[in-house]
Each structure stands twice: as C-alpha cells, then as structure tokens.
Amino acid sequence: MRTIAEINDKILNGKATVWTIEELKAKVKKLGIKKTYEKVDVICTGTFEPMESSGAILNLGHTDPPMKIRKCWLDGVPAYAGFGAVDLYLGATALSDYGSANDYDNISSNTPEKGGSHVIESLISGKSVTIKAIGQVTDCYPRASFESSITVDMINQFYLYNPRNLYQNFIVGVNGGDRTLYTYLGPLLPRLGNAVYSSTGAMSPLLNDPNLEVIGIGSKIFLGGAQGMIVWEGTQHFPLQKRLPNDTPIGPASTLALIGDAKKMTREWVRGCYFKNYGPSLMLGVGIPFPVLNEKIIEHCAVEDEDIVAPVVDFSIPRRVRPSFGLVNYAQLKHGKIKIEGQTVRVASIASMYLGRQVAETLKKWILDGNFTLSEPVAPLPVDRTFVSQDGVI
C-alpha cells in the first residue's frame, strides 16, 4: 500500500514514475499486475469529447452607476442573470438570440449555429465579446442598461462550472427509421446507415475507476488545459447501472461535476461546436490522474476495449426508453464497422482518441515536471444513487 502523500513527495523530488493509461495497459500485458504495481506511481487518463452540460460563471464587475442585471446577452447569446447584481452563468448550449448588436431588435435573425460554447471559446482565446445588459432598477442599483465589449482580462471571475461531465460509458446511436435524424451524436442516417458513439473506451477516465474508489470530491484534474477539480457527483449520476464481472457498466452510469479557472485554460482544449439541426455543445479535454495506491487499481486500469460494452440504441423511436439492438464492445466500435441484425454498419466516434491521448500525455508531463501534485479527496462520490424520471400527463 502507498499513500498520496508518499507519491506527492516523489513527484516533488523528481522520482515519481508516471505512465499514461495506454502505457500502463501495455506494461500489464508484459509484466502482469503485481510487477506493474511495483514500477508505477501515477496513471494518467484523458478524453476529448462533447460535454454539453457545461457552462461558465462570470462576474463582470460593477458599472457606474451600478446595476442589477436581469437580462444579458454575450455576443448575442443569453446568459442567466438570476444571481446577485453582475454575476452570470453562460450555458454551453444556450442558443444565440441575435447575430450582432446591430440586429438585436430583430430576433428572427438569430444564428443557431452559435451558442454559449462559442462565446466561452472566444473569451478563452482572448477575443472581444459584446455585452448587452438590461437592469432591474432599484435604489441601490439605479442603472437600467449597459452595452459594451469585454475580454477575459476585463472581468473579475471566469470559471467553468460543469454540472455533468465525463460520463462513465455511454451509448451507440443508430437510426432504424426512414429519415435522417439530427441528434446530440450528430446525424444518424436512415435504415441503419451509420452508428455513432462518444467515448474513448478503455482510455476513458471513469471506465478505469469503475467503482469510484480512487477519485472523489476534491480530486485535482486536467480541465481544459488548466488544473481543475471534481466538486460533486454529476447530474444524472447513476452508479447502480448494470455491470459486467469486471465492474464496468453496460451503459451510461456515473458522472462528475467539474470546476476550473477558465482564465488559465486554452482554446486547444475548450472549443465550441455545433451539431446540425440539434444545437451547440462544448468540446472539452479532461484528464484524471490515478495514484497507484494498491494492486486493485492496476487491475481495474488494465481493462481493454474488448472488455467494455455499450448498448446500440435506436433513435427512430422517440421515447425515453428506446429499443436496443444489443451490446457491442469498444474493440468492435473502434474497428469502424459493426453488425446489426446481419447488416454491416459504419461506425464513427465524436470523441477524439488522438486528443484524448494528448490530454493524458500533457497531464503526465505536468506531473513529471513537478507542476501538478495529487490531492486527497475530501469526501467519496456516492455509489448508491438511483435514476429518477418524470411521468407527467401529456
């Protein structure tokens, strides 16, 4: 058994052995669990994929005279202003209401391809963003409106707070209907014309800690090119999902709520994107370092793509619980073709394996350079959450 304090001491003294998750898996094949455990201190995981339940908290600073913002647009995208005075939350999927300050009064000129994620990317890139705010006039906040432009250096706080990131496994989307469907996985072609998934498989962080025994609330992570933190369970956190004997879930399971200083992030790892006829989302690089405290951690991290499965879900049935064509493993998915009822179906991923590797490599370098140490969780993540749905009358 090791402790995080012991590993941090090795990191700060330049003596820690740090591997990416792919390097670890290769070592296990060669050396086995026990010998691999003896050689490594930290394992770095990473992914780069759409994470639409994301957004940014901003504090603009007070105007003179001061105002209490009740409606606000950043580059034409509405930001939530139901906080105190000049605090805002800009959701990644918020749709643009208007294209520029010149056509604010013509809401029909909206640009749906642009959303909150693109404004977040612009600010991180150092670009200027227009702001239009309408105030609730009070005795202490007499200003009624404000229009200007801001950059990241002109605001007090700018940090990502993402209520649901880093799904522990997900689904494979297909379309058994007779028309193209536009979804959060991108276009799904009719008559099983394609299949799309969103995971880096055996590289994905939470699939290597299936029971959430290594990470917890307070664990430091790589988030958008800066240091971030796990702050809570994510929304729709469902650790009670059915699992294989290796403890990996057979579908969407645990999720994380993440936070990090967007002023320190880089555009390389935080990018606005748009899914045709669906809406905007945020492509985000996230990496989690695992301290190697015992052999069980190595055993879980040794899982391979062929050992992890995901359900093939038919989006042509517009119901909460859609029919499934069964389970496929990630080795099959990464091969680029799967069989569904005897039909060969092309497969693509909207998660980037290449950039996921780069996240893990970057995190590894930070640790080897002594610029990133590990943190003890202040509390465990819950492992007993059920999944509640709504069944109101239509």
Q: Percent of the chain, pLDDT > 90?
A: 92
Task: Compute the average pLDDT of residues 15-42.
Answer: 99
* Rounded-to-integer distance, Cα 193 and Cα 346, Å: 7
pLDDT band at 113 (very low <50, low <70, confident <90, very high): confident
pLDDT in the model for residue 53: 98
Residue pLDDT, tens place only, 257-269: 999 999 999 999 9
Give the pLDDT score at 306.
98
Closest among 376, 168, 165 to 256, alpha carbons compared? 165
- Write down the pLDDT at residue 153: 98
Query: Does the pLDDT value for residue 131 go beyond 70?
Result: yes
pLDDT value of residue 103: 53
Nearest to 40 by CA among 61, 67, 10, 71: 10
> What's the pLDDT at 100?
54
Q: What is the dihedral of CA 209, 286, 174, 250, to 10 degrees?
A: 10
Task: For the chain, give every domain's residue range.
Answer: 4-52+161-368, 61-155
HSE-up of residue 83 (Cα within 13 Å, Cβ side): 13
Count of Cβ atoms closer than 10 Å to residue 75 Cβ: 25
Using pLDDT thresholds of 50, 70 and 90, give the confidence band for residue 323: confident
Angle between helices 353-368 and 21-31 (to 10 degrees): 90
Average pLDDT over residues 94-113: 64
Q: Which pLDDT tens digit goes with each residue over 226-277?
A: 999 999 999 999 999 999 999 999 999 999 999 999 999 999 999 999 999 9
Region 322-326: what's the mean pLDDT? 92
Q: Which residues pair with 138 in a beta bridge?
A: none
Question: Which residue type does 198 have?
Answer: S
140 catalytically annotated: yes
> Does the structure show a pLDDT above 90 at 393?
no
pLDDT band (50, 70, 90) for residue 320: confident
275 phi and psi, to 5 degrees? -100, 120
Q: Which of 72, 140, 273, 301 is catalytic?
A: 140
Q: Please tell me the distance from the alpha carbon of residue 262 to that of residue 282, in angstroms, as a whole number.
A: 13
Q: What is the 3-state secondary structure (H, E, C) of 170-225?
A: CCEEECCCCCCEEECCEEECCCCCCEEECCCHHHCHHHHCCCCCCCCECCEEEECC
What pLDDT shows up at residue 319?
81
Question: What pLDDT band is residue 99 in, cutting at 50, 70 and 90?
Answer: low
DSSP letter for each residue of 3-69? -HHHHHHHHHTT---EEEHHHHHHHHHHH-HHHHHHH-SEEE--EEEE--B-EEEEE----SS---E
Non-local (6+) Cβ contacts of 393 within 8 A are: none
User: In the prediction, which pLDDT does 108 show?
Assistant: 44
Evaluate whether 251 touches 214 at the Cβ level (below 8 Å). Answer: no
Task: Indicate whether 193 pLDDT > 60.
Answer: yes
CA distance linking residue 134 with residue 136, whole number of Å = 7
The predicted model scores a pTM of 0.95
Is the per-residue pLDDT at 342 higher than 70?
yes
pLDDT at residue number 64: 97
67 has a pLDDT exceeding 60: yes
- The mean pLDDT of the chain is 96
**CB-based contact 56:158 (threshold 8 Å):** yes
Q: Is residue 107 pLDDT above 90, yes or no? A: no
